[in-house]
Amino acid sequence: MHIQEGAFMKRVTRNIDPSSARDLLERVPRACLCFAYDHWPQAQPIVLVWHDGRYLVGLLEEADHQPDSNQEVILLIDEGVHYFDLRALYIRGQVKQASAPPEAPAADCTWLEVVPLKTVAWDYGTLREVRDER
């Protein structure tokens, strides 16, 4: 098939505006933090509190590994089992020390703030065609 330069193709996307997935930050179905530690990828389940637009992450004090200040991390909040129910917020950022938020659960946690550098979100329930300029 010949595609004219400047023509519009259509592609299917799962991506959504991250603001459309804000409910995930309020309900937090599944959340984890990923970072490198001693050259191994670490995946830690976390307590997430979204407070005044800040991403506050509680890591259990018994967690064997924790990221250093300013280290690059991924904060993933996702939900769903079946295909069209799968949704996620994927936040790449850096961590810094933080104090426990007022609504922190009782668990003994070390609190960090994830300062986002890039955020993407997806929702397979909103698969749709979009124009894709070639």
Distances (CA, A) of 21 to 10, 88, 100, 123: 24, 7, 24, 8
Rounded Cα distance between 104 and 57, Å, is 10
Rounded Cα distance between 126 and 91, Å, is 20
Task: Verify binding: residue 95, another protein, rule CB under 8 A.
Answer: no
Task: Verify binding: residue 43, another protein, rule CB under 8 A.
Answer: yes
Binding mask 3-22 for another protein (x = CB under 8 A): --------xx-x--------
In terms of CB distance, is 63 or 100 closer to another protein? Answer: 63
Q: Which of 19, 26, 69, 82 is in the footprint of another protein by CB under 8 A?
A: 82
Q: How far is the CB of 57 from another protein (least distance, A)?
A: 12
For 32, phi and psi rounded to 5 degrees?
-150, 165
Q: Which of 17, 22, 85, 130 is in the footprint of another protein by CB under 8 A?
A: 85
Q: Which of 4, 39, 53, 70 is in the footprint of another protein by CB under 8 A?
A: 39
DSSP letters along 47-97, please? EEEEETTEEEEEEETT-S--PPTT-EEEEEEEE-SSGGG-EEEEEEEEEEE
Residues forming the site for another protein (CB under 8 A): 11-12, 14, 29-30, 32, 34-36, 39-47, 60, 62-63, 72-74, 76, 78, 80-86, 88, 105, 107-108, 124-125, 127-129
